[in-house]
Every structure is written in C-alpha cells, then in structure tokens.
Structure 1
Amino acid sequence: MRVLLVNDTEKPIGELREALLAAGYDVLPEVASASTLLKVVESQQPDVVIIDVDSPSRDTLEQLAVMHDHAPRPVVMFSADSDDQLIRSVVGAGVTAYVVDGLAPGRLSPIIQVALARFEQQSNMRRRLDEVQQQLGDRKLIDQAKGLLMEKRGMSENEAYAALRQQAMKQGLKLADVARRIIAMADLLG
C-alpha cells in the first residue's frame, strides 16, 4: 500500500516514516506542506494520505477539500488540537481518521485500516446517492415527456409510457434518453 506523508509541522516526521516502513507500507517521498496536495496526489497516486500537523490551518483544510472533490483518498490526520469545532471542520474537509495525542507505532496499522474502511463506506454511500439522484432525474424527464405526449397527441398515461418504451427499444436507447429527445423537440417546436 502506497502512503503519502505530509509534514505540516516543524518537527521531523522520521518516526512516522520508520513506523510505516516497519509495518510494510510503501512510503512515497514526503511533502513539506498541504499547499501542493492535489498535484502530488494526482501524480503519485497514493492509497492513503497521512498528515502530521500541530493544528490544521484553513489552507490545509481548503487543500484537503479540493483533493477530496477531485482525487479522493483516505486521509489520516495526526494533530495535537482536540477542539470540537476544528474536528468537525476536518471531517467536513474529507479526513477519514483524526488522531489526537500522538502516534504509537503499534496503533498505526489499525488506524490506517479504519480510515480505509470508512473511506470505502463513504465512497459507496456517495456512489449510491449519485445513482438515486440520477434515477430521480430520469424519472422526472420521463414524466415530463409523458405529459407532453398526453397533451400534444391526446394519449393516456399508459399509452404515452408505452410509446416511450417502444421508441427506446426501437432506437436502442434508455427511456430517459428518449424522454430527453422528446423534451428537446417540444422546446424546439414550441
């Protein structure tokens, strides 16, 4: 597993690097600050990002949010700051595991495994939400197209739906794509 270390503190990160190497992780070259995080994540393709900070800055949180939007990865953050509001902000920026009060090498692998599991769970929920939103959008288009067919061609709802299905099968398209075309044509014809 490839790990990207980000050291956003003045202290050396050697102990963390050694613990990761001892646990069998492939540790990528260290990044000195979070300001180039997205670029480094896109180029290095780590499996997990570990950030060591005294207290996450606004810039760090912004960079994490950008990374989370464009190249999401599990993120473990070690920090000395246990402020409740800060923890909410950190989690909102995409951090999957926030650890306060230092690092014990024996705890490192379980922390990374929890971060990976939480990230996978969140990704699955996000994917499912996207699917449901797509289905709702498609349903809305189909209903709108049925309404147009009912209005313009005097069809019943069942007849309009059957006409949409028949057209979809004939053209080898999804029902929502046929509905989109009918709506576009209705807009074009006025």
Structure 2
Amino acid sequence: MRQASVLIVDDDPIVRLDLRTQVVAVGYTVAGEADSGGQALALARNLRPDLVLLDIVLPTISGIEVARTLMAERIAPVVIFTGSAGSEVAAQAYSAGVMGFLSKPLRAQDLGPIIAIAIARFAELITLENEVKSLNARMEARRLVGRAKAILMEKQGMPERDAFRRIQAQSLALGKPVHEIAQAIIMASEISA
C-alpha cells in the first residue's frame, strides 16, 4: 500500500525542514515543499498530494485563501497551522473548509492523527458529493421521464403505463438512456407547440 503524500507549505525553511522530519516520522511521504501561497497552489495542482499542510501566514497569497482555493477545487484536504491561534483565525479556517487546525509548535504525536483524519474526512466528502450528484442526476431523469409521459398521455391519449413502455421501447431500440429519450420527446413537443 502506498504511503500518503503531504505537501508542506511554510515560508520558513527551518520550519519546513522540521515538518518534513515529522511527516516522515509519522509514516507519510513528502510530495513537495512550497514557501509561498502562489507556489503552494501551483505545486498542489501539479503534484496532487493526499494532503496539504499549510501555514496561515504566507507571502503572495494567504494560507486561508490557498486553503479556500484547494478545497473549492477539491485538490486535497488542508490542515492549517499557525503561531497565533484564536477564535477569529479558527473561524476563517473553518470558512475556508480546512480539515484540521494545529497551533505551533507542531508535534509529531499531534500531526500523525490529524493527517489521517483529514485524509479520511476528505475522502468521505468526495464520496458524499459524488452520491449527491448521482442522486440529483437520477431525480432529473425521473422528472424528465414524468414530463415526457405527461406529453405522450396528453397528445396521444395513452395511459401512463403505455406512455412509459413507449419511452422504454425507444430507449432499447436506439440504445440510449431513458432520460435522453424523454428529453427528446420534450424537445419535440416544445418545437411543435
């Protein structure tokens, strides 16, 4: 099984070196290192690490904005760290969608579990989003089929069961999904109206 990879982002090379040592010590690989927000975004998009470990205070783009972008693009989960933890900073991190929050100095015994949890939670988030997309697509397909059945029932005077069977038969005959046939019926009805 492959070790999960971590992108380390801090403008201080000493902190990055310490984090590299800790990340490796708790069983992860280091995908890369960045010293600015802009570099962090570029590397994360290119390397696709399993997690980004990110300082809040960075040159070019703040850690909060980097986290917001990475989470919006679903590139990787973000664990953010700072030397100035407070409720305002925590609220900003939360609104950016980060998966974990640590205060400096970071300790390996804290780092390992939070990385594991963040990676697992991110995977759950992606799975749930995919399930929601699938459910929405199925609901839309049902809505289209219902509308197409109503059109066939009204324009051709057929019972609902027969209208559905006709849609199914066309689907099989043309090798297309039922919702595409339904959409074609709706479009044809709108054109002829």
Into which bin does the TM-score normalised by the smaller protein fall?
A: 0.7 to 0.9
Which residue of the partner structure matches residue 112 of structure 1? 115
Between the aligned residues of both structures, percent identity stands at 27
Alpha carbons of 1:18 and 1:76: their partners in 2 closer, same or farther (altered >3 Å)? same
Which runs of no fewer than 5 residues in structure 2 stay unpaired? none
Cα distance in 2 for residues equivalent to 1:86 and 1:149 = 58
Shift of 1:129: 1.2
Matches for 1:7-18 after TM superposition, within 5 Å: 7=10, 12-18=15-21
Cα distance in 2 for residues equivalent to 1:25 and 1:93 = 24
Q: In the alignment, is the contact (CA less than 8 A) between 1:49 and 1:73 conserved in 2?
A: yes
Which residue of the partner structure matches residue 141 of structure 2? 138
How many residue pairs get aligned? The number is 189
Partner SS, residue 10 of structure 2? strand
1:184 aligns with 2:187: yes
Shift of 1:4: 0.5
Cα distance in 1 for residues equivalent to 2:125 and 2:92 = 17
Q: TM-score, normalised by structure 2?
A: 0.84
Partner SS, residue 105 of structure 2? coil
Cα distance in 2 for residues equivalent to 1:84 and 1:155 = 64
Partner SS, residue 13 of structure 1? helix
Matches for 1:74-89 after TM superposition, within 5 Å: 74-89=77-92
Alpha carbons of 1:119 and 1:189: their partners in 2 closer, same or farther (altered >3 Å)? same
Which residue of the partner structure matches residue 169 of structure 2? 166
Shift of 1:58: 8.1
Shift of 1:179: 0.9
User: What are the Cα deviations for residues 61-118 of structure 1, in whole angstroms up to 9, with x where unaligned?
Assistant: 3332322232421211112344445434323323111123531112221111111111
Match of 1:51 among 38, 50, 54: 54
RMSD: 2.5
Cα distance in 1 for residues equivalent to 2:154 and 2:11 = 63
Which residue of the partner structure matches residue 61 of structure 1? 64
Instruction: Extract structure 1 runs of 4+ deviating beyond 4 A.
Output: 8-11
User: What are the Cα deviations for residues 22-66 of structure 1, in whole angstroms up to 9, with x where unaligned?
Assistant: 3342213311122343322121121111112359x9843333232
Q: Which amino acid aligns with 1:46?
A: P
